[in-house]
Amino acid sequence: MSGPTVWGEETMPLSEDEQRQLDQMARALAREDPEFAWYLDGGQPRRVMIAAGVLGVGMILLLVGVVTAQSALMIGAIISVAAILAIVAALAVYLLS
């Protein structure tokens, strides 16, 4: 019976002492460079995913706004403005992360 795998290779659980040392190093890193520790902890990819989702919503709204503007100009314009705001918000989230 094999143990857990990472990238197709078997892994071995850490001993209590190794886990304690790893926890100490993680806390020290978080104290010395919190931004880098946040990045390693997965903070950056979450923000990128949020930005991508908001961008997708903005693009769909823009398409709906353009199509709606063909029959109801004011409603299409309002939807298009909301789409542009969503796209700008996605850009801001991405650039500020």
Residue range(s) defining the domain that contains residue 79: 42-97
pLDDT of 82 over the 80 cut: yes
If asked whether residues 32 and 6 sit together in one domain, one would say yes
Taking CA atoms, 45 is separated from 12, 40, 41, 82, 94, in Å, by 27, 10, 9, 25, 10
If asked whether residues 54 and 37 sit together in one domain, one would say no
Mean pLDDT calculated for residue range 9-29: 85
Q: Domain total for the chain?
A: 2
Per-residue b or e along 16-29, where b marks 16 or more CB atoms closer than 10 Å to that residue's CB: eeeeeeeeeeeeee
Read off the pLDDT band of 79 (50, 70, 90): very high
Mean pLDDT calculated for residue range 69-97: 91
Please give the pLDDT value at position 56: 93
Full-model pTM: 0.54
Please give the pLDDT value at position 86: 94
